[in-house]
Structure 1
């Protein structure tokens, strides 16, 4: 599953999805399987949108390979293909690889500069990872 558009000016899930898609994914990542009506009811609490719109967006998420659809009797059940953590890991890894392939040293330099603003645990984790990589060389 590959997200084609990453929106720099957005935050959270809306960097990867449209606003309604992000809300639907947020709902589905908090449950096991849900029907369109279940998701619509969860969105209604936020006064969001109607059944047909939710159905269209959820079916598009199936087409994009984000959701899995299973039919049970006359009901369609939906669930994310990946967990939230798996999805974010996959997307961040793909973005990092693309940046490295296209911009190489510049990206590494900016990532190192960004380490000045993070906690010591992350820096220690990076140091361990670098040591592991050097052992394998």
Structure 2
């Protein structure tokens, strides 16, 4: 699932979602089970009071966008993420990387390698090993 809006100046999940969407997704990803709208609202209320209808609207939009599944259980709806947070981040980082390389080619690769060296030199060693493994498999 490809995100259409990536906010460069934001951080974490806010790069992909609006602020309330991010909080809702984080709550659902850290939950050990499906949750109702009321469950999520109560978790959100620990920060500040958020209207039930607002939470319901945002959660249903996340269903429409394909990020949440909605299931009728007894007399309520239960929601759960379509994929784990790790799977989501993996998918998004892969899509972003492909888009950058498709648009900017070797410039993007050069800047990524420079960033690896500045952020964590060990990542540069991991990249080198990954490239060697890819060349072996050809």
TM-score range, shorter chain: over 0.9
Taking structure 2 as the reference length, what is the TM-score of the superposition?
A: 0.95
Return structure 1 stretches of 4+ with deviation > 4 angstroms. none
- C-alpha deviations, 1:79-126, integer Å up to 9, x for none? 101111000000000010111111111101101111221223312211
Structure 2 counterparts to residues 23-102 of structure 1, below 5 A: 23-31=23-31, 32-102=33-103
RMSD over aligned CA atoms reads 1.0
Deviations 1:42-72 (A, max 9, x none): 0011014110000000000000000011111
| Aligned twin of 1:107 | 108
* TM-score (structure 1 length as normaliser): 0.96
Unpaired segments ≥5 residues, structure 1: none
SS of alignment partner, residue 131 of structure 2:
helix
Q: Which consecutive residues of structure 2, in runs of 5 or more, have no partner in the other structure? A: none
CA distance in 2, matches of 1:3, 1:48: 29
In 2, the alpha carbon distance for the partners of 1:121 and 1:36 equals 43
Return the alpha-carbon distance in structure 1 between the equivalents of residues 20 and 49 of structure 2.
8
Residues 52-61 or 102-111, more deviating:
102-111
The 3-state SS of whatever aligns with 2:48 is coil
Query: Hey, what's the Cα distance between the residues in 2 that align with 1:120 and 1:102?
Result: 26
Q: Is the 8 A contact 2:25 2:81 kept in 1?
A: yes
How far 1:3 moved relative to its partner? 1.1
